[in-house]
Chain A
Amino acid sequence: MTEPRCGFARFLHASTYCLPLVAATTFAQSPTNIFDPAGTPARDIFGLSMLVLSITLVIFLIVAGLLLYALIRFRHRSTDSDREPAQIYGSNQIELSWTVIPILIVVTLFLTTTRVILGTEAIPKPASAMDVTVIGHQFWWEYNYPKLGVVTANELHVPISDPATPTPTYLTMSSADVDHSFWIPRLAGKTDLLPNRINTMWIDPQATGLYLGQCAQYCGTQHAKMLLRVYAQTPQEFAAWIEQQKKPAQQEFPGNPAATEGQSVFMKNACINCHTVKGTVATGRFGPDLTHLASRDTIASGPIQNTPENLRKWVEDPNSMKPGSLMPSMHLDDHDLDVITAYLSQLH
């Protein structure tokens, strides 16, 4: 191929090489790429999508090719005669053929799709499955491990499921207020969480790591920052995490008077109406369970790193960090903010 001369042609020439490269990098870098499945439901969907994409691509190439050919071949030229072209009113055979062939394609596609639907929604739950109850809230996630006696928020920990000993996690989901939707693109498609209704879905991450996602159903002001984090761990790591989470919250803070004072400030304020700290008088259910807050990487359901500075800013005025958050500012003075931060930072 010879190098094109003019600037625009050279630009086009370069883009034909650059575009796939740019596309490949974009896809490779995204932690929420649906084409990079890491669990069975997502992998089944990936297989189906490749089939659907190839069928539609072939149809596109054929039809667009014919259209383009017709538009070029039959365009009016200045040398043409003034006569109108031959008038053709239709042809039963041709029209029948482009009715029957699409029907055959539709039937093929329908049967394949049905197989994937049944494979995800209608297979029996294995005995080794783990149960988690997920409740959607404006604007955070509540996770309950009913058989293990653990309640946590915003960061879901699950064991990996290797094909030899499958341990899928079954999520039983509902909503405490409005509609939400649970979507971790690399693990499975989304399922809605609706009030007055229980939905189920399952995930089985097959490699350890952090899987990201976020709420996919518009749920009010802060829909955008209702992020999802799933930590897939080895069975040993997961067991250790469960052991830690089962313990009640730390009550004594020897050598840390700030934390001790912070604890009493916390217990004397309205914090306890909304938050639970296991083993204390704080038993509120409206906000996230804080028993092991310090063991989490993030606060506010994902968007903010869990550092003492951020925690302090958050308690001071949640709406400055996440406008629309339903946690009010308690108008604490600087001293109270300092000690509460010291206390919360100790809740491992």
Chain B
Amino acid sequence: MTTTPVLEAIDETLETQGKPPVNVIYEWLTTVDHKKIGLMYIVYALIFLVVAGFEAILMRIQLAIPNNHFVSPQVFNQLFTMHGTTMVFFMGMPILFGMGNYLVPLMIGARDMAFPRLNAFSFWISAFAGILLYFSYFGASGLYAAGSAPDVGWFAYAPLTSKVFSPGHSTDYWTLAVFLSGVGSIGTALNIVTTIICMRCKGMKMSRMPLLPWLYLVMSGLVFVAVSPLTAAQVMLTLDRYLGAHFFDTQAGGSAILWMHFFWIFGHPEVYVLVLPAFAFANEVIPVFSRKAMFGYPAMVAASVAIGFISLSVWAHHMFTVGMGPAGNTFFVFATMVISVPTGIKIFNWLATIWGGKIIFAVPMMFMVGFLFQFLIAGLTGIMLSAAPFDWQLSASYFVVAHFHYVLVGAIVFSLFGAFYYWYPKVTGKMMSDTLGKWHFWLFLIGFHLTFDFMHVPGLLGMPRRIYTYEAGRGWDTLNFIVGVGAIFQAAGTLVLVYNMIHSYYKGKEAGHDPWDAWTLEWSVPSPPPSYNFAIEPTVNSRRPLWDLKHPEDPDSDYE
């Protein structure tokens, strides 16, 4: 890529190196560059990953042996509430929004997001929400009465959250934090949709857009329809708690089930809000490391859109035990089972993509292989849970905990880690250490399977979730001990990743602009990309513009 003298001048002006540190901080605090905002999201989410992971370790220590007194029931209940809330709202959503913020404009050939200042606003309000949630540890019962974090669960079922059963302010911190994070999420979703619809470069029809922006488009659509009801529910709960409304206040005739519907109308699409970006990363990494085009691009797009729509009609499969009656139950059984069809199409298309390829097992691909197998298992346990009578046994048991951690960690986190290793060179201009990457992979893989494979079994043996202790003699002891050991392996793996990211930033090999010999637009610009992304607005003729450049004898455009 050639650069014009004018753009070089802009480059110098925007260059932060060599400036006094206070200017660098000011620069980051006031930036509207989608890449910097993306990075801030990622760093902020990684901090919360470590915090919520630490909370998980404390819980696993408590449960490693029966009748343990490591933490009190009050503290344990705060731990699982904070762990769940943090992982979903302050780790999962921000980190995926961060990746999207960074990658979407680069991949569609745009210079920034559609609304750069809204983008900055969304980030800062989400960051503030996370800080607010943790401030409850100090502030929920007056500034100096520490230790009153929310303890109503991340699902905050009514009426446990009403003033009667949850006095004090801890639940209000939860409500406000989730509300504000929702405002940020909706802002970002709006931005991503507008950017994708309006700012694609010349020649990039929707049918030529890479799969990652496609999936972010579906994900952002889901954020609108899923997060809005949650935000409304937070307002209603606050009205209940402070103005004597009775939406969820059962002591005055309100409905506990109304809250469940509101919560799961958000909560189930939320799973797909989190998993669609994970599919997106796999869609970019798997073809490149198999050296093949994505198999069945139109089917992949159709399946993603179908998953988006169907995911809106499955929420009540979280409520098979509340007594909806046979008609309601069978409807939600069917909707839930049907979603396995488009999901299956995705897995088979990934299989067909690696079939006949030349698979290179670099670290990003290793994580994607883990993703494929674990997502397969997560999907199959999902089918088990969709059979309502089986779910009457398994819901709210440790089997469910194992199932959704297979989705959230086995699929999403593995895919995300793969994405880190894949795009790190683009972001920093340095390669991540391969040796450390393999240590990270194996530690995390072993830890993951020790923890979540064995976690299925206590569920089958009748162990409910959210209990701070249990008596011996139920057959749960050994299993919980193994699960605890696995958690420590995962923590070690994550620390290796954090070390690797910092270490490679200073000591890593130079990456060049296209270290993986990839095909999408972000690899056509220098690493790290300049703040205006593209010196000249690119023009594309196919789904893999760089493939066409590298293989003029056999361009992609002939096959589309």
Contact = CB atoms under 8 A, between A and B. Distances in A.
B387 A52 contact: yes
B545 to A, nearest CB: 15
A102 interface: yes
Given A34-B462, A49-B384, A66 B351 contact: yes
Interface in B461-479: 461-471, 473-476, 478-479
A113 B333 contact: yes
A281 interface: no
Interface string A23-39: 10011011111110000
Given A27-B461, A85-B356, A190 B395 contact: yes
Contacts of B461: 26-27, 30, 32-34, 185
A265 to B, nearest CB: 30
Interface stretch (B70-78, B94-102, B215-223): B70-78
B221 to A, nearest CB: 23
Interface stretch (B1-9, B375-383, B433-441, B496-504): B375-383
A216 B465 CA distance: 7
Contacts of A337: none
A324 B73 contact: yes
Interface stretch (A158-166, A202-210, A218-226, A251-259): A218-226
B132 interface: no
A230 B319 CA distance: 25
Given A117-B329, A177-B165, A183 B387 contact: no
Given A90-B295, A224-B470, A76 B358 contact: yes
Given A56-B380, A66-B351, A70-B354, A88 B292 contact: yes
Nearest to A81: B358
A196 interface: yes
Interface stretch (A8-16, A93-101, A241-249, A285-293): A93-101
Contacts of A181: 321, 396
A342 to B, nearest CB: 28
A45 interface: yes
A109 interface: yes
B457 interface: yes
A60 B464 contact: no
Range for the number of chain A residues in contact with chain B: 35 or more
B388 interface: yes
A202 to B, nearest CB: 13
A89 B291 contact: no
Most buried by A among B160, B253, B325: B160
A323 B74 contact: yes
B384 A53 contact: yes
A29 B475 contact: yes
A219 B352 CA distance: 47
Contacts of A185: 393, 461-462
A317 to B, nearest CB: 15
B18 interface: no
B392 A191 contact: yes
Interface string B335-352: 001101100110111011
Nearest to B300: A90
Nearest to B296: A90
Nearest to A87: B293
A88 B295 contact: yes
A26 B392 contact: no
B377 A324 contact: no
B525 interface: no
A194 B372 CA distance: 40
Given A60-B377, A109-B387, A199-B323, A85 B396 contact: no
Given A190-B321, A224-B470, A88 B293 contact: yes
B305 to A, nearest CB: 14
A56 B321 contact: no
Interface in A59-78: 59-60, 63-64, 66-67, 70-71, 74-76
Nearest to B155: A218
Nearest to A194: B256
Interface in B390-407: 390-397
Contacts of B409: none
Contacts of B532: none
B33 to A, nearest CB: 35
B253 A197 contact: no
B16 interface: no
Contacts of A94: 352
Contacts of B476: 30
A4 B292 CA distance: 40
B321 A90 contact: no
B293 A89 contact: yes
A31 B356 contact: no
Interface string B86-115: 000000000000000000000000000000
B380 A26 contact: no
Contact of A98 (B157, B160, B348, B381): B348
A215 interface: yes
B361 interface: yes
B396 A190 contact: yes
B290 interface: yes
A192 interface: yes
B467 A223 contact: yes
24 contacts: A23-B457, A26-B475, A27-B461, A34-B394, A34-B462, A45-B389, A45-B393, A48-B389, A63-B348, A71-B359, A88-B295, A95-B299, A98-B344, A110-B330, A113-B330, A113-B333, A121-B325, A189-B391, A191-B321, A195-B256, A196-B254, A212-B462, A221-B74, A224-B469
Interface of A: 22-23, 26-27, 29-35, 42, 44-45, 48-49, 52-53, 55-56, 59-60, 63-64, 66-67, 70-71, 74-76, 80, 84-91, 94-95, 98-99, 102-103, 106, 109-110, 113-114, 116-118, 120-122, 138, 177-179, 181, 183, 185, 188-192, 194-197, 199-200, 212-225, 303, 323-324
Interface of B: 72-74, 77, 151, 153, 157, 159-160, 165, 250-251, 253-257, 290-293, 295-299, 321-323, 325-326, 329-330, 333-334, 337-338, 340-341, 344-345, 347-349, 351-352, 354-361, 369, 372-373, 376-377, 380-381, 383-384, 386-397, 457, 460-471, 473-476, 478-479, 551, 554, 556, 559-560
Give the 7 A-B residue pairs with the shortest CB-CB distance, closest first.
A189-B392, A32-B462, A30-B475, A224-B467, A195-B250, A199-B323, A90-B296
Given A75-B359, A196-B256, 16 more contacts: A27-B460, A52-B384, A88-B295, A89-B295, A95-B345, A102-B341, A110-B330, A113-B386, A114-B330, A121-B329, A178-B256, A191-B321, A197-B323, A216-B396, A219-B160, A220-B165
